[in-house]
Amino acid sequence: MSNLYLLDLLDEVLETVLMTGFIKDEIPVSMMLVAPSGTAKSQMLMRYEASFIIRTDSISSQGLFDLLHKDTKNEYRFMIIPDFNPTLSRRPTTVDAAIANLLSMTTDGTVRVDDGRQEKEVKHNPVAMLTACTPQIYHKHAKKWFALGIRRRIIPIHFTYSASTESKLQKLVQEAQIHSIKVDAKKLSLLKSSQPTIPNELASDIAVLSQQFALNLGKGRVVVEKRYKYTNDKVVPISPHVTLRILARAHALMDKRPIVNAQDVDFLRLFLDFTDPEFPKAI
């Protein structure tokens, strides 16, 4: 067997994020999985296949330009980069240019290059990014990413394995149910864009949750007297509020419902458990 095991919660988060590509009049949500090595981050991302997904192992400004320039029909809504570490290992100037273009790609679909080409800019519909990195890499860049607004636009999802999950996975390996081969693909269909309605009473609940979401996005790790400490930088909850509303609608769309219900708000509470860098979600 080549399936992933015991990752149902994370699977629900990922599929909901992918559904944000079909919420009318909204920009799809970008996300970065942050977890220790060996937690199947990249495998989770690599298994998704769809006409609206493009996958690449590493990106540069030129690479982004070429990928979007070839997509003349504006089909791509998500770019999956299974491991962000290779992108970050390039020269600082190259990384800075790529990050700047990633931000503009996810916001307005624009990518610019300056390498002597006649055509220096490509316009595309916004393309969200799904990627993964280790906590060490994330915390190394977190302060700079916060200053650039990346943590609001590319939502970090923090998780780790619980002792129980590790034990169960070890048992599955021992029973020859987990192998090193590629996991089974999960094919997704192109959907018609829609915008499920959010009832007023649930809209108020989502507004309250956005306050906690903003606090989590503002958390950063610093070293004080050779120990890690978490501080909070101010994040205005407007953008987090918009993101939660998009996710609530996407969760309803995933269940083929035209109206957001309490189940979708419960999902948002689950989602928030994954957004605190100080206390990664144990799955």
Q: Which domains does the chain have, with CATH numbers?
A: 8-282 (3.40.50)
204-245 per-position pLDDT tens digit: 999 999 999 999 999 999 888 889 999 989 999 999 999 999
What is the per-residue pLDDT for 2? 41
pTM of the model: 0.91
pLDDT band at 1 (very low <50, low <70, confident <90, very high): very low
Asked if residue 119 has pLDDT above 70, the reply is no
Residue with the bigger pLDDT between 100 and 264: it is 264
What is the per-residue pLDDT for 6? 62
Residue with the bigger pLDDT between 178 and 45: it is 45
Residues 129-156, mean pLDDT to the nearest whole number: 89
pLDDT band at 117 (very low <50, low <70, confident <90, very high): low
What is the per-residue pLDDT for 120? 85
Asked if residue 87 has pLDDT above 70, the reply is yes
Residue 219 in tokens:
């958390």
Of 155, 183, 160, 128, residue with least CA distance to 240:
155
Alpha-carbon distances, residue 255 vs 12, 98, 156, 252 (angstroms):
11, 36, 24, 5
What is the per-residue pLDDT for 209? 98
Residue 259 in tokens:
């109206």
Of 122, 176, 131, residue with least CA distance to 156:
131
Asked if residue 169 has pLDDT above 60, the reply is yes
Residues 114-137, mean pLDDT to the nearest whole number: 87
Residues in the chain: 283
Identity of the amino acid at 282: A
